[in-house]
Amino acid sequence: MSSALIRPDVRKFLDYLESLNRPKGHEVGAEAARQMMVASRHAFEPPAHEITVVRDIAGPVPLRLYDARDERGPGPLLLFIHGGGWVIGNIETHEPFCIDVAIALDLPVVAVDYRLAPEFPFPAAFEDSIAAARWVASGPQELGRTPAGLFLAGDSAGGNLCAAISAALRDEPATVPILGQWLIYPAADPMVRYPSYDHFCEGHLLTRESMDWFEESYAGPKGDWRYSPLLKGAAGLPPTFVTTAELDPIRDQGRAYAARCAEAGVETIYWEAPGTIHGFLNLRKGIPSGQKDFAKCLSYLKPWAERARDQR
User: At a CB cut-off of 8 Å and minimum separation 6, what does 23 contact?
Assistant: none
CA end-to-end span of the chain, whole Å? Answer: 49
Closest CA to 285 of 14, 101, 13, 87: 13
Biggest distance spanned by C-alpha atoms of the chain: 53
Q: What is the pLDDT of residue 21?
A: 87
Residue 19: CB atoms within 10 Å: 8
> Distance between CA 268 and CA 309 in Å, rounded?
20
User: By three-state DSSP, how is residue 8 classified?
Assistant: helix
What are the pLDDT digits (tens) for 210-241? 999 999 999 999 899 999 999 999 999 999 99
Using a cut of 0.95, tell me whether the model's pTM lies above it: yes
Query: Read out DSSP for 93-141?
Result: GGHHHHHHHHHHHT--EEEE----TTTS-TTHHHHHHHHHHHHHHT--G
Q: Can you list the residues of the chain whose pLDDT is less than 70?
A: 1-4, 312
CA dihedral 304, 305, 311, 312 (to 10 degrees): 150
Q: What is the pLDDT of residue 1?
A: 42
Task: Provide the residue ranges of all domains of the chain, joining segments of one domain with +.
Answer: 8-311
Q: What is the pLDDT of residue 68?
A: 98
> Distance between CA 298 and CA 304 in Å, rounded?
10
**Helices 95-105 and 290-311, packing angle to 10 deg:** 50
Q: What is the pLDDT of residue 7?
A: 98
Catalytic (active-site) positions:
156, 248, 278
> Distance between CA 312 and CA 206 in Å, rounded?
40
* Partners of residue 79 on adjacent β-strands: 110, 152
Q: What is the pLDDT of residue 24?
A: 86
Q: Return mean pLDDT, the chain.
A: 96
Q: In what order do the strands lie in the sheet with 268-273?
A: 53-58, 62-67, 109-112, 75-81, 147-155, 178-184, 240-245, 268-273
What homologous superfamily is domain 8-311 in, according to CATH?
Alpha/Beta hydrolase fold, catalytic domain (3.40.50.1820)
Helices (H), the chain: 8-20, 25-28, 30-44, 95-105, 124-137, 157-171, 195-200, 208-218, 251-263, 290-311
What are the pLDDT digits (tens) for 269-281? 999 999 999 999 9
